Structure 1
Amino acid sequence: MATTNMNIRTDVEVKAAAEQLFNELGLNLTTAVNMFLRQAIRTGGIPFDIKVNTPNEITAAAIAEGKRMMQDKTAKGYHSMEDLKAALDA
């Protein structure tokens, strides 16, 4: 099988962390990249889920509370950042 060279740019820290991880798995970076490429070909796409960051439980609850407050016409509102800061300091 003929081979070719690829140049890939990445952050120095990312490369070092990946090399350390793959070394622990008994792989070098070239083998790991080739595994990724072959798996992408086999699956016909990226071989893992790509998702936006999902908020943790506390953040999700805060978002839900904010949405409820927006619907609640009796909820306290603020007309300026200064008003909000003053309420938080109280």
Structure 2
Amino acid sequence: MEVAKEMSKCVSDFALSTYGIGVTGKINKKDPSNERGLDNEVFFSIYYRPEDKYYTEKLVCPIDERRNVKELIVDKILEKLNEIM
């Protein structure tokens, strides 16, 4: 989760934006260079600059085509962003 948080803050800092989003993890595929963590976990963070606050979530990916899982992740991020706003 720490990587997603750092990514979201860096995006906000770089873009001078109110919000920044960071996503990291693995989508049902082994990463030979990264043995840590499960192969079906994705972490995302939404950083809100005015309050220096992070909104985070861990997702467990279903076994499905990568495109479908990516769409699910985007949908979850948009849901969380709508809750925040």
Give the alignment's TM-score, normalised by structure 2.
0.29
Which structure's residues are more often helix, by fraction? 1
- Structure 1 length-normalised TM: 0.28
Q: Larger Cα Rg: Structure 1 or Structure 2?
A: 1
Higher relative contact order (CA 8 A, sep 6+): 2
- Greater percentage in strand: 2
